[in-house]
A and B are shown apart, each in its own frame.
Chain A
Amino acid sequence: MDPAVPLRAAVAIDVASPVPSEHWRLLRSWLEDMDLDVEPNVNPDVGLIGYTLRLRNYMLGIGLALRATGPVVSISAVLCRGMDREQFALAAADRANRHLTLGQVLYLPGPPAELSFFAACSMDLLDRDTFALLFDAVLGELNSVGFPAVMAVRGYHPGDYAAPWGDTPMAPRPVEFSSCEANHAAGCADAPCGDREADSDDAAAQPQANAAADDDCANHSDDLDGDAEAADVPADCATPRRRARRS
């Protein structure tokens, strides 16, 4: 074993792997040089399939794939899952791909439906410094292109869908207050449910998965400033109007 490789890394990379181990060592050393706290992602059948890096808004997967032309470093991230506006997802993914300078945005129909980011680069085109710059560029793309795509489809934070695919329920995490009446019964009856202050309090007090119920509550009541809110919505995110039928 190479003594230069830290023990923690060596434990992680000395499992059976579909690609030669030296490449994993090299990738791990690059990641550790960037002071990233990565976790090995080990599949019991295949072996090490990559490293996971948990950021606040993205869970990044960094791995290697052995292609015909040699090993390829891949960086992937789940942007959102279980979108409210799944029918917009194809258009949002295409718009994101048009604006990207690195990688691609994928729409996976699921369930749950998912927008994800994927970038790959041949390992022989990278060294320590270039990988660090590529990684920074990927984070920049995620923020500048990925986030608007998530907003356009009103996706849920991937942290709300932490379970593996097979166990993931169709709907987001069970919502405690599934209707406006339930919200009122739970204590927001004093303020109209469209009140921005009440909304912000709700949002602070309840988990993010309850945002769906908040939106539902805020949108269907009559005494709300829904029109003003609708005017604030960018054209890309607004509900499309149906075309008038041609006679």
Chain B
Amino acid sequence: MAASTCPPQPAPGPDLLALRAWLEACGETVTLFGDPARPHAIGTWYPTHLQIARLIDRQPLPLILVQTTFCAQPRRRAEVLPLLAQANQQLERGRWFLRRDPLRLTYAMELPAALLDGDRFVREWRRFYDEAVAHGIELTLRTRAVANVGLLRAKARLPAAH
């Protein structure tokens, strides 16, 4: 019998509904984005930001992307890139970057989905929250930006309970 030459295939990993169940089990209030039966992302509204998670079906390594757009419309534009570079040097994981039209400062981190379970996902979710808040507040203030939650509130896209 010929030896198999297939590359290693990890387990497929959890789906978004599993992520939602894990977060709700530890007391988070989770919002589904998209069709409730087939959501494209889940998220939690915090006072400072909206933190979302979605699946990246990147074969053969499926990933879970945790992301937040923390602030937007920086008035001190010349300060943005040096501050982002500084923040990136201090991160344990993930990356800060600038999205255009309109200018938004975004933090993203990916997790290999294969071995993820509830405890590990909640741990990484909270660590992401800590990093996002620690650097996001500084970036918002030092670039004279506007908190993205504030912009969403102005557009009435915030949940009623928020």
Q: A residues bordering B, Cβ < 8 Å?
A: 67, 69, 72, 90-91, 93-94, 97-98, 100-108, 120-122, 124-130, 132-134, 136-137
Contacts and interface: CB of A to CB of B under 8 A. Distances in A.
B50 interface: no
A97 B112 contact: no
Contacts of A124: 115, 120
Contacts of B97: 94, 97-98
A101 B120 contact: no
A90 B85 contact: yes
A133 B60 contact: yes
B75 interface: no
A127 B81 contact: no
Most A C-beta atoms less than 10 A away, residue of B95, B99, B127: B95
A125 B120 contact: yes
The 6 A-B pairs of least Cβ separation, nearest first, read A129-B8, A104-B95, A97-B97, A90-B81, A133-B61, A97-B95
A130 B114 contact: yes
Contact of A122 (B84, B89, B91, B120): B120
A125 B116 contact: yes
From A104, A106, A128, A136, residue with most partner B Cβ within 10 Å: A104
Given A129-B10, A130-B10, A130-B112, A69 B98 contact: no
A97 B115 contact: no
**Interface size bucket, B side?**
35 or more
Contacts of A128: 8
A137 B10 CA distance: 14
Nearest to B81: A90
Contacts of A127: 10, 114-115
A99 B39 CA distance: 24
9 contacts: A104-B94, A104-B95, A105-B95, A121-B112, A127-B10, A128-B8, A132-B8, A133-B10, A133-B60
Nearest to A90: B81
Interface in B108-146: 110-112, 114-116, 120, 123-124, 127
Given A129-B10, A133-B10, A133-B60, A98 B99 contact: yes
Contacts of A98: 97-99
A94 B81 contact: yes
B36 interface: no
A130 to B, nearest CB: 5
Contact of A134 (B61, B89, B94): B61
Nearest to A89: B85
A97 B96 contact: yes
A101 B112 contact: no
Interface in B58-115: 58, 60-61, 63, 65, 81-82, 84-85, 88-89, 91-99, 110-112, 114-115
Given A97-B96, A97-B97, A122-B124, A104 B88 contact: yes
B88 A137 contact: no
B4 interface: no
Given A94-B98, A133-B61, A102 B85 contact: no
A108 B86 CA distance: 9
B21 interface: no
A102 B110 contact: yes
A93 to B, nearest CB: 6
A102 B61 CA distance: 11
A61 B88 CA distance: 18
A205 B19 CA distance: 58
B9 interface: yes
A127 B114 CA distance: 9
A125 B92 CA distance: 15
A102 B116 CA distance: 17
Nearest to B59: A133
Given A93-B85, A133-B60, 6 more contacts: A72-B93, A90-B84, A101-B63, A125-B111, A130-B10, A134-B61
